[in-house]
Amino acid sequence: MTEIYLDVLIGLNLYITWALLDCCELLGHLRAKRGRKGLASVLGGISSLMILLPELSAFPLMVLRFLLAAVLTYTAFGSCSGKRFLRTMLLFFLVSCLFAGIMIACWLVFTPSGMAIRNGVVYFHLSALTLILSTVAASLAARGLSVLFFRGKPEKLIETVTLAVDGRETELKVFLDTGNRLFHCGMPVMVCSEKALRRLIPAELTASASDLFPMTALSGRWKRRIRMVLCETAAGKKLLTAFLPDHVRRRDNSEIRCLVALTDNSFCGGEADAAAPPELWQQNIG
């Protein structure tokens, strides 16, 4: 029977979870806040204690592993659309499988004296250095796959902003579209999916993403925020309902000023919550 050291088990799996999340960021063009990623890594380390439970059958174990992938994905990357969350969760699950394969290869090469496998958790009697090197190898393999799959494709420039309205905030992923030249009275317009803003704006305003609505449906405070923005697309011209947020801040806490227009469309196949002219990112007003 293999002797398992809990401090080594948790500590190394914490480090490994961080590395796996790094791979997800690289392959999925994602960004996670360090605090959220750190918390997810701690949860990943603690989850390795499943190796101490009685052995589970295949179906309950698969359900448990998928639930764990969902928890770690949500903890690291936050809430997003259902389609994007599912894609991110599956990406994390596949990256974990890639790492497991490399770990097994390391075991075959180094032939350690002891190994324990239970409930989807593998414990090797390898030195910390060997485990770290194998994690680096998995990361390099993920980078190789990224080059293979995304070579020749135009890079999508997606940035993260925090938008605030009436003391409430939400984080948005913004696609900086080089073909986007939407401005209103000299101010850039960020076109945002109404689903991403449902918790911040009145329901009447959310409905305007698919149809215009009477201004009388809004309170006086919101009436003063509203602007009607003319948008020209290949399909023709359309009026978008837009509003002026309290502030929009980048990751470095610098502020940018723009209008936020609502749409019921998605961006970059669900990877982004909004689209904006590249000029939006060139601002620096504080």
Question: Which CATH number does the domain housing residue 267 bear?
Answer: 2.40.70.10
- Would 278 be classed as within a structural domain? yes
Tell me whether residue 178 is in a domain.
yes
Task: State pLDDT tens for residues 36-59.
Answer: 889 998 998 888 888 777 877 878
pLDDT of residue 221: 73
Residues 178 and 205 in one domain: yes
- Cβ 204 vs Cβ 217: under 8 Å: yes
Residues 185, 77 within the same domain: no
Query: Is residue 1 in a domain?
Result: no
Asked if 129 and 74 sit in the same domain, the reply is yes
Query: With left for phi above 0 and alpha for psi between -120 and 50, is residue 185 left, alpha or beta?
Result: left
Whether residue 145 contacts residue 27, with contact meaning beta carbons closer than 8 Å, is answered with yes
* 233 and 129 both lie in a single domain: no
Boundary (domain end) residue, out of 94, 128, 150: 150
Q: Which pTM was predicted?
A: 0.49
* Domain presence at residue 216: yes
pLDDT at 2: 59
Examine the domain organization and report whether 183 and 220 are in the same domain. yes
Q: Do 135 and 219 fall into the same domain?
A: no
Same domain, 183 and 128: no
Helical pair 58-77 and 34-47, crossing angle rounded to 10 deg: 160
Q: With respect to residue 111, please indicate whether it lies within any of the assigned structural domains.
A: yes
Q: Is residue 241 part of a domain?
A: yes
Domain boundary among 92, 121, 150: 150
The DSSP secondary-structure symbol of 152 reads T
- Residue carrying structure tokens 């969350």: 85
* Domain count across the chain: 2
Range of the domain at 104: 6-150
Shared domain check, 52 and 133? yes
Q: Are 84 and 168 members of one domain?
A: no
Specify if 274 maps to a domain. Answer: yes
Same structural domain for residues 235 and 128? Answer: no
Residue whose C-alpha is closest to residue 206's, from 263, 272, 270: 263
C-beta separation of 137 from 235 below 8 A = no
Nearest to 198 by CA among 168, 162, 161: 168
Positions of the chain with pLDDT lower than 70, given as ranges: 1-3, 5, 79-82, 100, 103-104, 106-108, 110-120, 122-132, 134-136, 138-156, 204, 206-220, 233-235, 269, 283-286
Has residue 166 been placed in a domain?
A: yes
Do 142 and 185 lie in one domain? The reply is no
Say yes or no: 166 and 103 in one domain.
no
pLDDT at 277: 84
State which of 110, 127, 150 marks the end of a domain.
150
Could you give the CA distance from residue 158 to residue 174 in angstroms, rounded to a whole number?
Answer: 5
Residue 155 confidence (pLDDT): 46
From start to end of the chain, where are the E strands?
115-118, 121-124, 158-165, 168-176, 183-184, 187-193, 226-233, 236-243, 247-250, 255-256, 259-263, 274-276
